[in-house]
Amino acid sequence: MREGIVIGLAVVGLAFSLSGVVGILRMPDVYSRIQCSSKTITMGALPVLIALVVAEGPVSPYGSRALLVAVLLLVLNPVASHALARAAYKAGVPMWAGAVTDEVAEQVAAKQVAARQVAPGQAAPGQADPGGQAPQ
Amino acid sequence: MANVCLAVAIAEVAIAALLLVRLAAGPTVSDRIVALNTMSTQATLAVLFFAAFAGRTIYLDVALWLASFSYLGAIVWSRYLERGLL
Protein backbone atom coordinates (compact mmCIF):
# COMPACT_ATOMS: atom_id res chain seq x y z
CA MET A 1 0.00 0.00 0.00
CA ARG A 2 2.63 2.49 1.08
CA GLU A 3 4.96 1.42 -1.71
CA GLY A 4 2.15 1.94 -4.21
CA ILE A 5 1.65 5.53 -3.02
CA VAL A 6 5.40 6.14 -3.21
CA ILE A 7 5.65 4.78 -6.74
CA GLY A 8 2.59 6.76 -7.85
CA LEU A 9 3.93 10.05 -6.48
CA ALA A 10 7.37 9.39 -7.95
CA VAL A 11 5.90 8.61 -11.36
CA VAL A 12 3.79 11.80 -11.29
CA GLY A 13 6.81 13.89 -10.31
CA LEU A 14 9.11 12.32 -12.88
CA ALA A 15 6.50 12.71 -15.62
CA PHE A 16 6.13 16.42 -14.85
CA SER A 17 9.92 16.82 -14.70
CA LEU A 18 10.25 15.16 -18.08
CA SER A 19 7.52 17.33 -19.61
CA GLY A 20 9.13 20.46 -18.17
CA VAL A 21 12.51 19.50 -19.59
CA VAL A 22 10.95 18.81 -22.98
CA GLY A 23 9.37 22.26 -22.71
CA ILE A 24 12.77 23.83 -21.96
CA LEU A 25 14.15 22.09 -25.04
CA ARG A 26 11.27 22.98 -27.37
CA MET A 27 9.96 26.41 -26.29
CA PRO A 28 10.78 29.28 -28.62
CA ASP A 29 12.22 31.97 -26.30
CA VAL A 30 13.78 32.50 -22.88
CA TYR A 31 10.64 33.65 -21.10
CA SER A 32 8.64 30.54 -22.05
CA ARG A 33 11.59 28.40 -20.99
CA ILE A 34 11.69 30.09 -17.57
CA GLN A 35 8.02 29.24 -17.17
CA CYS A 36 8.73 25.57 -17.96
CA SER A 37 11.63 25.60 -15.51
CA SER A 38 9.38 26.84 -12.69
CA LYS A 39 6.83 24.15 -13.55
CA THR A 40 9.52 21.51 -13.28
CA ILE A 41 10.24 22.64 -9.74
CA THR A 42 6.72 22.98 -8.35
CA MET A 43 5.01 20.04 -10.00
CA GLY A 44 8.06 17.88 -10.69
CA ALA A 45 10.19 18.15 -7.56
CA LEU A 46 7.51 18.43 -4.88
CA PRO A 47 5.66 15.12 -5.55
CA VAL A 48 8.99 13.29 -5.64
CA LEU A 49 9.99 14.83 -2.30
CA ILE A 50 6.58 13.95 -0.82
CA ALA A 51 7.14 10.39 -2.07
CA LEU A 52 10.37 10.26 -0.03
CA VAL A 53 8.54 11.61 3.02
CA VAL A 54 5.86 8.92 2.62
CA ALA A 55 8.49 6.22 2.15
CA GLU A 56 10.66 7.09 5.14
CA GLY A 57 8.25 8.88 7.46
CA PRO A 58 8.41 12.59 8.30
CA VAL A 59 10.48 12.15 11.47
CA SER A 60 13.25 10.04 9.92
CA PRO A 61 16.47 11.77 8.78
CA TYR A 62 15.60 11.35 5.10
CA GLY A 63 11.99 12.49 5.41
CA SER A 64 12.82 15.58 7.49
CA ARG A 65 15.57 16.57 5.04
CA ALA A 66 13.16 16.07 2.14
CA LEU A 67 10.67 18.44 3.80
CA LEU A 68 13.43 21.02 4.37
CA VAL A 69 14.53 20.76 0.75
CA ALA A 70 10.91 21.15 -0.39
CA VAL A 71 10.51 24.36 1.64
CA LEU A 72 13.82 25.73 0.35
CA LEU A 73 12.94 24.95 -3.28
CA LEU A 74 9.51 26.54 -2.89
CA VAL A 75 10.98 29.75 -1.43
CA LEU A 76 14.22 30.19 -3.38
CA ASN A 77 13.51 29.04 -6.91
CA PRO A 78 10.79 31.60 -7.71
CA VAL A 79 13.26 34.28 -6.58
CA ALA A 80 15.88 32.98 -8.99
CA SER A 81 13.38 32.65 -11.85
CA HIS A 82 12.07 36.15 -11.28
CA ALA A 83 15.54 37.71 -11.17
CA LEU A 84 16.52 35.79 -14.29
CA ALA A 85 13.45 36.91 -16.26
CA ARG A 86 14.02 40.52 -15.24
CA ALA A 87 17.69 40.37 -16.17
CA ALA A 88 16.92 38.76 -19.52
CA TYR A 89 14.40 41.49 -20.33
CA LYS A 90 16.78 44.26 -19.28
CA ALA A 91 19.63 42.68 -21.25
CA GLY A 92 17.44 42.91 -24.34
CA VAL A 93 16.89 39.23 -25.04
CA PRO A 94 14.32 39.23 -27.86
CA MET A 95 10.88 37.75 -27.42
CA TRP A 96 9.47 35.13 -29.73
CA ALA A 97 8.24 36.67 -33.00
CA GLY A 98 4.74 35.30 -32.31
CA ALA A 99 4.49 36.87 -28.84
CA VAL A 100 1.16 38.68 -28.48
CA THR A 101 1.86 41.43 -25.95
CA ASP A 102 4.71 43.16 -24.10
CA GLU A 103 3.14 44.94 -21.16
CA VAL A 104 6.41 46.34 -19.78
CA ALA A 105 7.14 48.15 -23.04
CA GLU A 106 3.57 49.50 -23.09
CA GLN A 107 3.91 50.81 -19.53
CA VAL A 108 7.29 52.40 -20.27
CA ALA A 109 5.87 54.09 -23.37
CA ALA A 110 2.86 55.34 -21.41
CA LYS A 111 5.15 56.79 -18.70
CA GLN A 112 7.25 58.59 -21.32
CA VAL A 113 4.13 60.07 -22.92
CA ALA A 114 2.87 61.20 -19.51
CA ALA A 115 6.24 62.77 -18.66
CA ARG A 116 6.21 64.72 -21.91
CA GLN A 117 2.70 66.00 -21.22
CA VAL A 118 3.44 67.00 -17.64
CA ALA A 119 6.84 68.62 -18.28
CA PRO A 120 5.63 71.81 -20.08
CA GLY A 121 2.78 72.20 -17.60
CA GLN A 122 5.10 71.86 -14.61
CA ALA A 123 7.40 74.63 -15.79
CA ALA A 124 4.75 77.35 -15.49
CA PRO A 125 3.34 76.41 -12.02
CA GLY A 126 6.91 75.86 -10.77
CA GLN A 127 7.70 79.47 -11.58
CA ALA A 128 4.33 80.73 -10.41
CA ASP A 129 4.30 78.84 -7.09
CA PRO A 130 6.87 80.93 -5.17
CA GLY A 131 5.00 84.05 -6.12
CA GLY A 132 1.70 82.48 -5.20
CA GLN A 133 2.89 81.16 -1.86
CA ALA A 134 4.68 84.30 -0.77
CA PRO A 135 1.52 86.28 0.20
CA GLN A 136 0.36 83.38 2.41
CA MET B 1 11.78 0.53 -1.29
CA ALA B 2 15.52 0.92 -1.89
CA ASN B 3 15.07 -0.08 -5.51
CA VAL B 4 12.45 2.63 -5.99
CA CYS B 5 14.86 5.21 -4.53
CA LEU B 6 17.64 4.13 -6.86
CA ALA B 7 15.30 4.18 -9.87
CA VAL B 8 14.12 7.71 -9.05
CA ALA B 9 17.72 8.90 -8.63
CA ILE B 10 18.75 7.42 -11.99
CA ALA B 11 15.66 8.85 -13.70
CA GLU B 12 16.38 12.33 -12.34
CA VAL B 13 19.95 12.17 -13.62
CA ALA B 14 18.70 11.00 -17.03
CA ILE B 15 16.19 13.87 -17.19
CA ALA B 16 18.92 16.33 -16.22
CA ALA B 17 21.15 14.91 -18.95
CA LEU B 18 18.54 15.92 -21.54
CA LEU B 19 19.13 19.53 -20.48
CA LEU B 20 22.74 19.33 -21.70
CA VAL B 21 21.30 19.89 -25.19
CA ARG B 22 19.88 23.27 -24.15
CA LEU B 23 23.06 24.03 -22.22
CA ALA B 24 25.14 23.50 -25.35
CA ALA B 25 22.76 24.99 -27.92
CA GLY B 26 21.08 27.83 -25.99
CA PRO B 27 21.14 30.89 -28.23
CA THR B 28 21.61 33.33 -25.33
CA VAL B 29 23.28 33.18 -21.94
CA SER B 30 19.88 33.29 -20.23
CA ASP B 31 18.87 29.99 -21.86
CA ARG B 32 21.96 28.33 -20.47
CA ILE B 33 21.30 29.72 -16.99
CA VAL B 34 17.73 28.36 -17.09
CA ALA B 35 19.06 24.93 -18.07
CA LEU B 36 21.70 25.03 -15.30
CA ASN B 37 19.16 26.09 -12.68
CA THR B 38 16.85 23.22 -13.56
CA MET B 39 19.77 20.79 -13.63
CA SER B 40 20.79 21.80 -10.12
CA THR B 41 17.28 21.09 -8.86
CA GLN B 42 17.33 17.64 -10.46
CA ALA B 43 20.77 17.04 -8.96
CA THR B 44 19.43 17.91 -5.50
CA LEU B 45 16.67 15.32 -5.86
CA ALA B 46 19.08 12.72 -7.24
CA VAL B 47 21.46 13.16 -4.30
CA LEU B 48 18.59 12.98 -1.82
CA PHE B 49 17.26 9.74 -3.28
CA PHE B 50 20.73 8.26 -3.58
CA ALA B 51 21.24 8.98 0.12
CA ALA B 52 18.00 7.14 0.88
CA PHE B 53 19.13 4.23 -1.33
CA ALA B 54 22.64 3.98 0.14
CA GLY B 55 21.44 4.55 3.72
CA ARG B 56 24.03 7.23 4.40
CA THR B 57 22.78 10.33 6.17
CA ILE B 58 26.00 12.21 5.41
CA TYR B 59 24.89 12.61 1.77
CA LEU B 60 21.83 14.53 2.95
CA ASP B 61 24.03 17.51 3.77
CA VAL B 62 25.06 17.69 0.13
CA ALA B 63 21.42 17.82 -0.94
CA LEU B 64 20.59 20.50 1.64
CA TRP B 65 23.57 22.58 0.58
CA LEU B 66 22.59 22.30 -3.07
CA ALA B 67 19.00 23.31 -2.30
CA SER B 68 20.16 26.26 -0.19
CA PHE B 69 22.81 27.75 -2.45
CA SER B 70 22.29 26.61 -6.03
CA TYR B 71 19.93 29.51 -6.65
CA LEU B 72 22.78 31.94 -5.91
CA GLY B 73 24.34 31.04 -9.25
CA ALA B 74 21.25 32.22 -11.12
CA ILE B 75 21.05 35.37 -8.96
CA VAL B 76 24.68 36.32 -9.60
CA TRP B 77 24.47 35.61 -13.32
CA SER B 78 21.30 37.67 -13.65
CA ARG B 79 22.94 40.54 -11.78
CA TYR B 80 25.79 40.55 -14.29
CA LEU B 81 23.34 40.29 -17.20
CA GLU B 82 21.37 43.21 -15.89
CA ARG B 83 24.10 45.69 -14.97
CA GLY B 84 27.17 44.60 -16.90
CA LEU B 85 30.45 43.48 -15.41
CA LEU B 86 30.89 46.38 -12.96
Domain boundaries, chain A: 2-121
- Give the long-range contacts of residues A66-72, CB within 8 A, separation 24 or more: A66/B48, A68/B64, A68/B67, A69/B44, A69/B48, A69/B63, A69/B64, A69/B67, A70/A45, A70/A46, A72/B64, A72/B67, A72/B68
B10-65 pLDDT, tens digit each:
999 999 999 999 999 878 889 999 999 999 999 999 999 999 999 998 999 999 99
A67 shares contact with chain B (CB less than 8 Å):
no
Residues whose CB is less than 8 angstroms from the CB of residue A134 and which lie 6 or more positions away in sequence, other chains included: none
What does the alpha-carbon distance between residue B79 and residue A135 come to, in Å, rounded to a whole number?
Answer: 52
A to B CB pairs, distance under 8 Å: 137
User: Which chain B residue lies closest to A51 (C-alpha atoms)?
Assistant: B5
Nearest Cβ partner for A34 among B19, B34, B49: B34
A85-133 pLDDT, tens digit each:
999 988 888 888 888 888 888 888 999 999 988 876 555 554 444 444 4
For residue B71, the SS3 value is helix
What does the alpha-carbon distance between residue A18 and residue A1 come to, in Å, rounded to a whole number?
Answer: 26
Nearest Cβ partner for B41 among A7, A66, A73: A73
Best probe of the B interface among A65, A75, A82, A104, by most B CBs < 10 A, is A65
Nearest Cβ partner for B1 among A45, A55, A88: A55
Alpha helices in chain A (DSSP H): 2-26, 30-39, 46-56, 61-90, 103-133
pTM equals 0.82
First and final C-alpha spacing in chain B: 51
What does the alpha-carbon distance between residue A93 and residue A112 come to, in Å, rounded to a whole number?
Answer: 22
CA pseudo-torsion sign A86, A74, B73, B29: negative
Q: What phi and psi, each to the nearest 5 degrees, are found at residue B10?
A: -65, -40
